Structure 1
């Protein structure tokens, strides 16, 4: 017994830090394995890793990370000493043969996310969203309004059932003037996106409101590899200029610090008959560095402004009769203006006892004004039905967590305790009847919203063996809603509050480095609009969503990665605030089930193929068979293509996306027609410059990007008609860009 204690007392260890060679910043998420021992870990937020309780011997340390060149280091461990390694990883072309399915990374975001962002050029904000497999978007305001989103049998509208964040800062707006969960990502400059973390389903403990169909977090670059200036010009009077300036250069990198500023300006008249006169301006500054040896500080400030005209949705009959062209407009005075200013501060500390403490505070000032006309002359045959939706918002909050990874033999577990707080204050949230975007005819709704969301969560990730991992967690969310009705006489102020408990349980079994089976299960929710829950006396503030995924990740061949999952999601009764009409509609219970299949295949050393196939059967519960369809919910989608990365600098992609026909109303008597379109991206990249050509809709297909079954009346009609109203998708659209690096 004493001999055993004596031997244990003289054990050694290995610790190290891994850096990105190009930016000289610590690299998070690197897989670190000790060959032949079964021991493995992942570098933390500061790029650090550690192995303790090692007997004196020689060891091989294997370092691997997607799109970085793998390294194997030899190190000798002696009694009572901890060997320290400092390693730089250089970027390299993706090799799918090096990708392994690992129990260590079992609960990480889906593997293909990082592969995709490295293989597919991002050319605009919309392409950022399309990186999530199965997520489709539709723009029905010409580019200024947030996209309509589709995922897993959901018509998500503008974000009701997907949680979107940028560097952990919320994008979705609760109780928004236009729609619940409205998520406008246009303040993101695409060239600054470093990675997209995502997961489908309500299975992640630290993701709360809106994460029913899934969530995505866009991580922007902490440092620029080089300063750059980019100029683009294309059809339809399209111009864009982007610049990013590295402020600290090599001196900053030597001190593990970085700072940059970047700006983007866009203008286009677009392909509509009515010139869009679209303007967008983005400005962002970011600092990242050590304020102590074990504390990182990241500060981000940005501002965004956009203004545009749009042609709106047009009915099929207006095009068929020749009243308007396919790219025409019934009400050419539609349009909008929006702005958002953000401040985001993130602190990450690793203590001497290996606790990882994260603190984040954020603030946004947001303004929105939108003019739309969906029904033309249905309600007001003289002035028309144009509406204005407007709000001014202050949003602030805090995210904090403390986590600790512990080891006992081959068993490791990570415990995380987190706290989250978010507060939204809007002033003058408005819905009004207007004419020609200049005259207010009648206010429908006008009020101030005060909405608070506080949450606490506990998450446990246990790697029981080299093959079996369990993740269990629970979060509790509390909401307090207040609405001040400024149209009531006298002005009234009402309150409502509620809480919800969301448990999660996820199991992963890794048979070998080529095959992993997983079962995800959990409860999630999306909050309802304050203007709903207050009049309803607090009923259905937080309708629950219960989901499960049974999936497999496997490599049938060394250079092929396949992810397949069968999934199910059940949603409770909820009340929906229809922002376009200012009314409340009960939606009823619903269920969705389907299959997701994603394939990534490296055909040659330089050519990659990818494809996603997504089926869904969305149905309303409690309705008669044949009258229980969920309008506009996708039933089958597919996206994919070929990506090229040549050593001589030639790179690009040829992509397709397909959405099948889907019901546009409850009995499927009106059908939203599907579409198949192709896009092309070609680049020639050298150390000092890049020349790029992007082509949207390569085959010049005439297609309808967004569609709605709407009852409307045109100027000279005596009776209303319900039929498809649509926004046309882009025709063939070519754009040429030149980027200079310095």
Structure 2
């Protein structure tokens, strides 16, 4: 429907997930995924001039379940994909911009949908070891069962990381999936379990590195980190009958997270320190149902109509913020019970006006109902909001090689239920408006390139507050930019890809503090080159660069730019495969993430405003061996 959508699978997916499920979303062209607080925590994402924190304004779906959590303990829209076993993923489909009616909350910049395999070509066991205590074991097997297929996957990982403080990551993931059906009807049910615990090395003040008091891999508080537990059951069904497709989805999720952080050290409490705990425990229930009517007639033109209903209920038993010391609670800052019920009614029509011109027209009617009740005070409240979001995509096919696209639409993100229902209330739903022009050019099977010029405006920005560890509603903003993505087969086994993204992002109101949006990456370049031989052999080189970025509203203080190079070599035969991953080949010591705020270290008498950074992992080697059965 636009130049900014596509699919990632096969070798490209394997390269993007070489270091685990947390890197899945970086397979989306233009996306940057970084880490600043331990491998078990959700990645920090950047796309189209947005610092998306851990998922605000980018929707992530897994097997029909939206991963983003509204009113989350760490920040609105938190999207943790660590529970996904990469070897079980069949494909990632992505959409950029708010132009697609089937995607709702948190999707202003785009969305990605992760789908699982129904069966494996062969069973396998894979073991990998690497520097800094990395050990990972993955197993997968599938069997015919009850006229369908049963798929099982297991992932075990331990990792200390390169930090002065061992990370002590202990990760366990499991998947059991049954699927059945044929071309006319498909059904699947998937159960997943995930548990992870880790110690974290957070961002550290650059003044301590400059003085020699801390190594670039050092830490201030040795007791920060986290643990996450997630269980889910999801089912998907589709049936084609004549010119009608019926589809449905249902899921339930149990989620429990505790996260300990200390970004300001001894700024607020010189005796006990500023460590705090964020807790989140909830059940999530969701469902969707819809029909598509193919080959209908509208104004004498062939038209497909889709109508669907989506529903989700987040029953949050505990979302809390606590003052802690060495992970022991000293006091409760806030603890709430929250309910978030959201629903959406969707209509979409695809009209073929001519053999060369087609149009997608769509709209969403969304509702959200919030309720919150404080466990430590008398605060309680309710809030409700409605929003209509029209969308359109126009495609003109010039010839077999070239297509032109024009897209426009309204999207939205929801705000934290506590902020929307008590105190100085913010709007429960905040609108975004986007548009883009683009083209896609294909030359035989050798070149696929797309170019898009886009703009996106938000009525209110969701910004990450570093010293509080959460997101808050902020000022309105405007962005525009250019995306260019290319994939090429160069012949003789060579393949290349190029991913260029440039954006201009500013707050749209007038404020003496300035108009720059903190943390925005305005320039991103990704490039890859690979060479394959035989049936299994391939060597791949991946380069990633993202430019410096403003750390506060005036734009005077900026982070350094960052770049890294990864190399993957693999080979094997019918029964065995091996892979060597060399990460950060040039041993870059650029920051993975940087913030600007006040902090105070032990021995300092006053608050100091400083850049706080988390360095990239140093050069490291990992080896993986896989046995197929």
SS of alignment partner, residue 526 of structure 1: strand
Matches within 5 A, 1:355-370: 355-370=244-259
Matches within 5 A, 1:478-497: 478-488=367-377, 491-497=378-384
Instruction: Give the drift of 1:515.
Output: 0.7
Query: Which residue of structure 1 lines up, in the alignment, with residue 165 of structure 2?
Result: 274
Instruction: Give the drift of 1:623.
Output: 2.5
TM-score normalised by the chain length of structure 2:
0.96
Compare 692-701 and 362-371 and name the one that shifted more. 692-701
Matches within 5 A, 1:555-566: 555=442, 559-566=446-453
1:316 aligned onto 2:206: yes
Query: Which residue of structure 1 lines up, in the alignment, with residue 387 of structure 2?
Result: 500
Q: 2:3 touches 2:450 (CA, 8 Å); kept in 1?
A: no
Structure 2 Cα separation of the partners of residues 312 and 216 of structure 1: 28
- After superposition, the C-alpha distances for 1:381-422 in whole angstroms (9 at most, x for unaligned) are 111100000111100110111002106799532110000000
Query: Which residue of structure 2 lines up, in the alignment, with residue 423 of structure 1?
Result: 313
Q: 1:179 touches 1:579 (CA, 8 Å); kept in 2?
A: no
Matches within 5 A, 1:592-741: 592-623=479-510, 627-741=514-628
SS of alignment partner, residue 173 of structure 1: coil
Q: Which runs of 5+ in 1 are unaligned?
A: 1-105
Residues 121, 705 of structure 1: CA spacing in aligned structure 2 closer, same or farther, 3 A cutoff? Answer: closer
SS of alignment partner, residue 716 of structure 1: coil
Query: Which residue of structure 2 lines up, in the alignment, with residue 215 of structure 1?
Result: 111
SS of alignment partner, residue 12 of structure 2: helix
Query: Which residue of structure 1 lines up, in the alignment, with residue 302 of structure 2?
Result: 412
1:297 aligned onto 2:187: yes
Q: 2:99 touches 2:409 (CA, 8 Å); kept in 1?
A: yes
TM-score normalised by the chain length of structure 1:
0.81
Structure 1 Cα separation of the partners of residues 583 and 598 of structure 2: 32
SS of alignment partner, residue 555 of structure 1: strand
Instruction: Give the drift of 1:646.
Output: 2.2
1:110 aligned onto 2:5: yes
Structure 2 Cα separation of the partners of residues 518 and 673 of structure 1: 36
Instruction: Give the drift of 1:239.
Output: 0.3
SS of alignment partner, residue 383 of structure 1: coil
Query: Which residue of structure 1 lines up, in the alignment, with residue 324 of structure 2?
Result: 434
Query: Which residue of structure 1 lines up, in the alignment, with residue 284 of structure 2?
Result: 395
Q: Work out the number of aligned pairs and report it.
A: 627
- After superposition, the C-alpha distances for 1:166-187 in whole angstroms (9 at most, x for unaligned) are 1111100110000000000001
Q: Structure 1 residue aligned with 2:427, among 528, 534, 540?
A: 540
Q: 2:481 touches 2:501 (CA, 8 Å); kept in 1?
A: yes
Instruction: Give the drift of 1:591.
Output: 0.1
Q: Structure 2 residue aligned with 1:337, among 227, 248, 252?
A: 227
SS of alignment partner, residue 25 of structure 2: helix
Residues 540, 275 of structure 1: CA spacing in aligned structure 2 closer, same or farther, 3 A cutoff? Answer: same
Structure 1 Cα separation of the partners of residues 597 and 550 of structure 2: 13
Structure 1 Cα separation of the partners of residues 497 and 470 of structure 2: 43
Whose Rg is larger?
1
Q: 1:121 touches 1:652 (CA, 8 Å); kept in 2?
A: no
1:286 aligned onto 2:177: yes
Residues 530, 582 of structure 1: CA spacing in aligned structure 2 closer, same or farther, 3 A cutoff? Answer: farther
Q: Structure 2 residue aligned with 1:328, among 199, 214, 218?
A: 218
Structure 1 Cα separation of the partners of residues 14 and 626 of structure 2: 19
Structure 2 Cα separation of the partners of residues 667 and 725 of structure 1: 18
Q: Structure 2 residue aligned with 1:246, among 105, 129, 142?
A: 142
CA RMSD of aligned residues (A): 2.1
Query: Which residue of structure 2 lines up, in the alignment, with residue 448 of structure 1?
Result: 337
Structure 1 Cα separation of the partners of residues 3 and 481 of structure 2: 22
Relative contact order (alpha carbons < 8 A, sep ≥ 6): 1 or 2 greater? 2
Q: 1:540 touches 1:575 (CA, 8 Å); kept in 2?
A: no
Structure 1 Cα separation of the partners of residues 36 and 92 of structure 2: 25
Q: 1:178 touches 1:580 (CA, 8 Å); kept in 2?
A: no
